[in-house]
Amino acid sequence: MTARDNVQRHRTFLPCAAALLALGTLGACTSSGAAGSPGASSPASTSAGSTSKAPSSTSTTSAAPSPTTSTDPVIAKIPPAARGETEAGGKAFAAFFLNSLDRAAMAADPSILDGLFDEGCKTCVAMVDSVAQLQKAGNHHSGPTLKVVQVTTDSFVTERRIVIAQVDQKAVDVVNKRGQRVDRTLAAKGAFAMTLRYARAHWTISRLQTVAR
């Protein structure tokens, strides 16, 4: 498969995404906050002529390690407003997911979407595969392409949580590592129907469908 084929495959997904349902906008960068390692201890100072019976070096004690709280890396990259198991939180998460898709295409980094969707979401998997193809070809989007216009609720009961995201997609260049244009995405308007699932203290997308706008 050629680099051109990879880009062409990518183009079939994002216009499809723009033709789907609604989501809001919320972006957050993943920050893995590893606890700082304890600083190196300074050498023990000795005083000349000391007659103490036991060297002070034998009685050094190491400070007990401070307890560290383990943060789920998926939760860490989700904005606080998009974490709650509420209707507002679900809408915000949907917007965040689309914003993350846009950032993934610009960075050619499919890992940005890790943990944000269920494995059974075929459209989500296809989108990630599309970004992976960009990465493999050494290409990326030159700028943002997706704009969430509006997010509305279709259903929000325990058994059925679906939001609709209306999206405008503008055309942007697909460029290689040298910044040379190799293709261009399509401009489109559309909507996404996004089925949400709440588990392990955060939302995921379990199904993504296009709907008539």
Domain annotation covers residue 170? yes
How does pLDDT run across 146-198, given as a tens digit for each residue? 999 999 999 999 899 999 999 999 999 999 999 999 999 999 999 999 999 99
- Give every CB contact of residue 46 below 8 A, 6+ residues apart in sequence: 56
Q: Give the chain's residues under pLDDT 50.
A: 1-59
Indicate whether 54 belongs to any domain.
no
- Please check whether residue 40 lies inside any domain of the structure: no
The pLDDT value recorded for residue 37 is 33
pLDDT at 64: 56
Residue 67 maps to a domain: no
Any idea what the CATH number is for the domain that residue 165 is in? 3.10.450
The Cα 134–Cα 76 span in angstroms is 26
Structural domain boundaries, residue 20? 3-28+72-211
What domain count does the chain have? 1
Give CA–CA dist 18/145, Å, rounded. 9
Q: What is the mean pLDDT of the chain?
A: 77
pLDDT of residue 135: 97
- Residue 143, domain member (yes or no): yes
**Three-class SS of residue 42?**
coil
- pTM higher than 0.85, yes or no? no
* 51 in any annotated domain: no
| 116 domain residue, yes or no | yes
96 occurs within a structural domain? yes
